[in-house]
Amino acid sequence: MNPLLTALPAAAGALTDSGQTSTAEAVLFWVLAPLMVLAALGLLLARKAVHAALAVIFIMISLAFMYVAQGAEFLGVVQVVVYTGAVMMLFLFVLMLVGVDRSDSLVETIRGQRWIGVLAGLGLGVVLAGVVGRATYDPPVGLAEANAPSNPEAVAHVLFADHVLAMEAVGALLVVAALGALVLTHRGRLVPKVGQRERAERRLRDGVHPVSLPAPGVYARHNAMDVPALLPDGTPLESSVPRVLRVRGQEADAREYAARIDRVLAGGWAVGAGTFTSDDEYVGGPQGAVTGGVVVHDPSAGPDGPADRPTDAPTHDEEDGR
């Protein structure tokens, strides 16, 4: 009747013509089966969802080995392609999207959901037990006869000749389920779609920085994320430091570094005799403390010199001609 079902009673190995399993299959089974049981336990006990997913992948691939060893090559390979390659991959995708460290919420969204679920599960168990208990198997015909044309063709014959109606019904059910999911999650668009072009135009219209922001850290010694870049006139550009660092208050004081350069240019290096390196040498001088910007290229300017400079760093944001 059904060549696939005939293989089921002999879980330990395929039925060859004589109804015996070979040594190789027995070895394969006794190596893989304990590992699979361990992985199944791992699925139940793993803390992290991705570890549980890994356990499932291991079981699936081991199961594929078993199928192939039993002569069901098509089933074994398709198991890996479809379940491991696509379905579990989707699972992982969702796990990564929702955040891998998130624990499941145990709140019932539907009242009495748990008890309904338990009842339905019990019902399914009873039905399955009834079907399996009452099933009768034909005497095994052996692999050679079951796979007579070739394994894929034999499977195709079972699926698309013997059970074609059930296959069509399952296919229709899956399509309906997929469409239902699409309809349930679909949202009508209320506002026109904003694409890359619209965003670029808006950026220019609003006068914000039209291209990527300048990179932080212009000093040879401080090519670091937290040191602002300097504009040509020596004023530090606050927006060059990543916003996250600025919000956290982890931004370095640019005036400090600028002041050092100032002192170097003013001859501080020669006076300090090479010890001009540590941070504690910086004392908030009148230059840095009073003004926002520090003149680098004009060391001869007096204390009043930098005060003439604009306090705010001129940025590209201030579009001219508008």
Partner 1 sequence: MSGWATALGALPTAVGGGTAGPVSADFSQDVFWVWLLKAVGIIVFLLTSVLIAIWFERRVVARMQLRPGPNVHGPLGLLQSLADAMKLLVKEDVTVRAADKLVYILAPMIAVLCSLLVYAVIPFGPEVSIFGVVTPLQLTDFSVAVLYILACAAVGVYGIVLGGWSSNSTYPLLGGVRSTAQVISYELAMGLSLVSVFIMAGSMSTSQIVDSQTQIWWFLPLLPAFVIYLISMVGETNRLPFDLPEAEGELVGGYTTEYSSMKFAWFFLAEYINMLNVSAVATTLFFGGWRAPWPISAINDGMFNTGWWPVLWFVAKVWLFMFVFVWIRGSVLRFRYDQFMKIGWKILIPAALVWVVCVTLVQAARQLWDVDLRTLLFGLAGVVVVGLVLSFLVPEKKPEPTPEPTEPQDFDPFADGYPVPPLPGQVLPPSPRAQRRLAATDAADPSEPETPLEVRGG
Choice from 59, 68, 258, 295 touching partner 1 (CB under 8 A): 68
Runs of H (alpha helix) within the chain? 3-6, 23-45, 49-69, 73-78, 88-98, 113-134, 143-146, 151-157, 164-185, 196-206, 243-248, 254-265, 268-272, 286-290
Q: Are 188 and 32 in contact (CB under 8 A)?
A: no
Q: Dmax of the chain from CA atoms?
A: 106
Beta carbon of residue 244, minimum distance to partner 1 (angstroms, whole number): 11
Burial group, residue 288, by CB count within 10 angstroms (0-12, 13-18, 19+): buried
**CB closer to partner 1, 36 vs 57:** 57
Q: Are 270 and 299 in contact (CB under 8 A)?
A: no
Q: Total binding residues for partner 1 by CB under 8 A?
A: 52
**Six-digit token string for 77:** 């390979």
Choice from 46, 61, 245, 264 touching partner 1 (CB under 8 A): 61
- Only one of the segments 92-100, 127-135, 178-186, 224-232 lies at the binding site for partner 1 (rule: CB under 8 A); that segment is 92-100
Choice from 12, 48, 119, 179 touching partner 1 (CB under 8 A): 48
Strand partners, 236: 230
- Only one of the segments 93-101, 182-190, 240-248, 305-313 lies at the binding site for partner 1 (rule: CB under 8 A); that segment is 93-101
Gap between the Cα atoms of 29 and 23, Å rounded: 10
Gap between the Cα atoms of 256 and 289, Å rounded: 10
Residues 71-90 within binding reach of partner 1 (CB under 8 A): 71, 73-74, 77-78, 80-81, 84-86, 89-90
Fill in the per-residue mask, 143 to 182: x = in contact with partner 1 (CB under 8 A), - = not in contact. Answer: xx--x-xxxxx-----------------------------
Q: Alpha carbon 295 to chain centroid distance?
A: 47
Beta carbon of residue 322, minimum distance to partner 1 (angstroms, whole number): 6
- Helices 49-69 and 23-45 meet at what angle, rounded to 10? 160
**CB closer to partner 1, 58 vs 257:** 58
- Only one of the segments 65-73, 104-112, 180-188, 276-284 lies at the binding site for partner 1 (rule: CB under 8 A); that segment is 65-73
Residues 219-258 within binding reach of partner 1 (CB under 8 A): none
Closest CA to 281 of 255, 256, 313: 256
**CB closer to partner 1, 147 vs 291:** 147
Beta carbon of residue 276, minimum distance to partner 1 (angstroms, whole number): 33
Fill in the per-residue mask, 181 to 220: x = in contact with partner 1 (CB under 8 A), - = not in contact. Answer: ---------------x----x-xxxxx--x----------
* HSE-up of residue 95 (Cα within 13 Å, Cβ side): 16
Choice from 14, 52, 158, 218 touching partner 1 (CB under 8 A): 14
**Six-digit token string for 64:** 């594929």
Tell me which residues touch partner 1 (CB under 8 A).
14, 22-25, 27-28, 48, 50-51, 54, 57, 61, 64, 68-71, 73-74, 77-78, 80-81, 84-86, 89-90, 92-93, 96-97, 100, 143-144, 147, 149-153, 196, 201, 203-207, 210, 321-322
